[in-house]
Structures are given as C-alpha cells and as structure tokens.
Amino acid sequence: MRRFALIALPYAWLLALFLVPFGIVLKISLSDPMLSIPPYTPTLDLTGGWAGIKAFLSQLDFDNFAFLTTDDLYWKAYLSSLRIAVIATVCTLLVGYPIAYGMANAPDHWRPTLMMLVILPFWTSFLIRVYSWMGILSTEGYLNQVLLWAGLISEPLDILNTPTAVYIGIVYTYLPFMILPIYSTLERMDGSLLEAAEDLGCSRLSAFWLITVPLSRNGIVAGCFLVFIPTIGEFVIPSLLGGSRTLMIGKVLWEEFFNNRDWPVASAVAVVLLLILIIPIILFQRNEQKSREAEG
C-alpha cells in the first residue's frame, strides 16, 4: 500500500493537471464554433443517459484539423516556430556553454556567487524582464543611445519588432535553463582526465574538444531540450519584442482564442502543437534515463 500510495500521488497530479485538461482541449478541437457560451457545440449533457452520450459523440468531427491543412497561416506558423526555436536554442548554447565552463572552473568560493547571479533574474517577474528589453532595444532605447554616444553608429538601429529582438529576448530569458544542466555536468567532471590528455601530447584546445565536450554531452542535450521545448510555443516574447513581423504558433493560438473566439480551431492548433512537442519530450526523457543509468 505504501508503494501504491507513493506511485499514485504523481499519477494523480498528472491526471488532474495534464490528462484532464488535455481531454477537454481535445474535445473542444472536435467541436464546431457557435455564437454562444461556451462558443462551441456540442456540449455533453449527462442527464440524457447513454443515448445522450451517443448523440454527443456522433456530433464530434475532425473538420478543424482538416481546416488547418487548408490555410497556409498555420503550417507557416509551425515551421516559423520550429525555425526560431532551433536558432534560439543554438544561440543560447553558444552563449551559455562558455558561462557554464567558466563557472565550473572558477574557484570554489566563487561558485555560489556565480550561481546566484545566474538564477537572480528569476527573482523578477518574467513579464517585467521582457518589457525592459523593449526600453533597451527601441529606437530611443539605451542600446542605441550608447552606440550613438560611442560613435559606433550614425543613426539608430531598428532592432525592436524584428526577429533579432525575439532571439535576444529568448536567449536572455532561457539562458539559465542552458547554463545550469551544463554546469552541473562540468562540475562533476574529473579534472585528472584533462591532465592525462595534456601529458599524452594534447593541447588544451584538443583536450577540450576530445574530453570536456563529449563528457558534457548530457548537460548540453538537457539544456537544449529545456530551451527548445518552451520556446516553440512562446507567446509573450514574440508578441512584445517581435511585433507583427514575427510569426509564431503561440501568437496564432492566442489570436484564435481571444480575438476570433474560435475555440475549436484554437484547440486543434494546441493539440497539433502538443503532438509536435511529444517527440523532443520523449527524447529528453530517454536522455535523462540514460544519464541516470550511466551514473548508476
């Protein structure tokens, strides 16, 4: 009974906070839009008994999923989101790996301070941090003022409301998710392996590529998944920093729900997005399982 109670608790949490909401969204995606409250039909009425349930199921269809294939907006939004998520993940890795490497090689008494600096942004509201970048990247923002003052540019740069601003916002926001797993892997690495490689004739650069990078692979994979998975459905950053010139599926989903009030189509978009994310989620879980088995 103890073992059952221990296992039942996370499964109950998963049932209540994922499976039930997903079932509701899936049901709405198979419904039809209607000017009512709620804005879709059919609705389930259990007072009709089994006959009412059969009538309810007979009215569900896949028309909304078929509609997604007829409008270029949706598949372009999915592809654009995938492209932005991949590029942003690579940029975050290029920025985060040197930081994690420096933290892992810093003196022991400095590591807690560096760790605190990495997680310090989480102490501030996510929305406020994104809004602050609007003030930095705007035409009259601090970045252009500094560049003009230094004489590096002759006229303000147009960064806000461009894909560049979206990449900057994503890298800044999700950088800790890349740094922490890589740092955790590098911190546990045996430094004698690098000394042995250098004794055998490897340069520091060769030892880094042959020893450090392969041994930190698990941290790199975990960090990339932790950045890629939430980025592909990101809504706040492209809306505030990307403007109308940035197309991502999160923005399309929000507009379908709140502007068009087409809940069935919006639910179909959400279901397809979840199906796309299942692949990296499964790969992430397998990587974590292999890491635990290797450590064990």
pLDDT at 263: 92
Q: Under DSSP, is residue 41 helix (H, G, I), strand (E, B) or coil?
A: strand
Give the model confidence (pLDDT) of 268-295 as tens digits.
Answer: 999 999 888 888 888 878 877 777 776 6
Task: Indicate the domain borders of the chain.
Answer: 20-61, 71-295
pLDDT at 81: 94
71-295 has which fold?
MetI-like fold (1.10.3720)
pTM over 0.95: no
**pLDDT for residue 233 is more than 80:** yes
Give the model confidence (pLDDT) of 59-75 as tens digits.
Answer: 888 999 999 998 889 99
How is residue 190 annotated by DSSP?
Answer: -
Helix (H) or strand (E) holding 233: none
> Are the C-beta atoms of 185 and 213 separated by less than 8 Å?
no
89 band by pLDDT with thresholds 50, 70 and 90: very high
pLDDT at 237: 93
pLDDT at 108: 87
Question: Which ranges constitute the DSSP H helices of 138-262?
Answer: 142-150, 163-187, 192-199, 204-207, 213-215, 217-232, 236-237, 249-254
Q: Which of 44-48, 182-186, 232-236, 241-245 has the lowest mean pLDDT?
A: 44-48
Backbone angles phi, psi at 226, to 5 degrees: -65, -25
Give the model confidence (pLDDT) of 107-133 as tens digits.
Answer: 888 999 999 999 988 888 888 999 999
